[in-house]
Amino acid sequence: MNNYLTKSCLLAFLVAAASNNCNIASAFANTKGAPTSFVKARSATATTAIAAAADGFDETRGGTHTIADQVARFARAKEENNERYLDIKSVYDGGDLSGKRVVVTGGNRGLGLAITKELVAIGASVLVICRSSSPELEALVGQYNVYSGVDVTDTEAVNKAAKRVKSDGGAIDVVINNAGYFYVPCDTINDDSLNFEEQLKQINICALGPLRVNAAMVNSKALADDAKLVIITSQAGSAEWRTTQNKDEGGDYGHHMSRAACNIAGVLQAEELRKKGYTVILLHPGFNRTTMTKKYEHIWDIEGAVDPSEGAKRVLHETILANIEKTGKFINCEDGLEIPW
């Protein structure tokens, strides 16, 4: 039997989560300005979910989908001793990617660097597209496999990089769109802090960035016949989950809009590119202990944040599982389940 929740299991779990969550909830009493996708939004979440479940709503859709409340999700994994969630090494075998040619954007630091390190460790050829290189990166993948000076908002630079990738070697098996940006302040209407420039910047990097890179790879004919186009997105792009993760607060407009736009662009790419044989997959990488989330380290433990080396294995595990039948899906790398739009 797999670890998917039946409705009754979900109800039982949420009752347990609600009774255990008081301390956890109080730890979130002052989360103003926190990236709400990373935090348990409000203390009433588990209770709300119980009421919803009692009304017949099953947010797991019978077990195909993961749950919105991140604290409850992590607590459930511990309660179930879910090895897939708690120890990716128990299921991960990177061997399928050995010998493959893989492009990673933003592979110079954070999760992207961890993915690059893991790919090198399993014997893949890694080509890193980034804004700035480093001696460490060049020692890792080889100087000629670093395409630096490429901002994913610069169409010309991205197109040039794709053409160089094509002329420098064999076909690309996997493209991992990892480069991303999260504006630090939480902008809201109520305190008149909306920052439209930052919102557009996030949309440009996080939504148009992967579209530019994937389009450049397709149009430069750099891809292998059955190439996989991986887009690292975020649960922040789920509109359904805003009523849990941003309940009664909203905020972080650019962050959420950029990932929702990223997701719909991913689905459109999946539809357009299926006939070419390319798989497009949208991956939420889980909560990783990187520079992007450093200011929230006080919730790393409670939310199940992992070292990027673990996050990298999670991403690569789902990359290996991706195939044309799953093209256009939005997957949570923590548990391998779908996230609702």
- Residues in touch with ligand NAP (CB under 6 A): 106, 108-112, 130-132, 151-153, 178-182, 205, 232, 234, 284-285, 287-288, 290-293
Please say which residue, 18 or 67, places its beta carbon nearer to ligand NAP. 67
Shortest reach from residue 70's CB to ligand NAP, in Å: 11
**Phi and psi based region of residue 263 (left: phi greater than 0; alpha: psi -120 to 50; beta: remaining):** alpha
Nearest residue to 212 (alpha-carbon basis) of 255, 126, 203: 203
Please say which residue, 276 or 298, places its beta carbon nearer to ligand NAP. 298
Q: What span, in angstroms and rounded, lies between the C-alpha atoms of 190 and 172?
A: 47
- Give Cα separations from 23 to 71, 81, 177 (angstroms): 11, 21, 37
Shortest reach from residue 192's CB to ligand NAP, in Å: 26
Please say which residue, 35 or 94, places its beta carbon nearer to ligand NAP. 35
Residue type, 164: R
Shortest reach from residue 78's CB to ligand NAP, in Å: 19
Please say which residue, 47 or 309, places its beta carbon nearer to ligand NAP. 309
Please say which residue, 10 or 68, places its beta carbon nearer to ligand NAP. 68
Shortest reach from residue 12's CB to ligand NAP, in Å: 29
Nearest residue to 127 (alpha-carbon basis) of 77, 162, 157, 93: 162
Please say which residue, 13 or 181, places its beta carbon nearer to ligand NAP. 181
Report which residue's Cβ sits closest to ligand NAP. 180
Nearest residue to 238 (alpha-carbon basis) of 52, 35, 68: 68
Shortest reach from residue 282's CB to ligand NAP, in Å: 11
> In this structure, how many other beta carbons lie within 10 angstroms of the beta carbon of residue 53?
20
Shortest reach from residue 35's CB to ligand NAP, in Å: 8
Residue with tokens 């607060």: 249
Q: What span, in angstroms and rounded, lies between the C-alpha atoms of 68 and 243?
A: 9
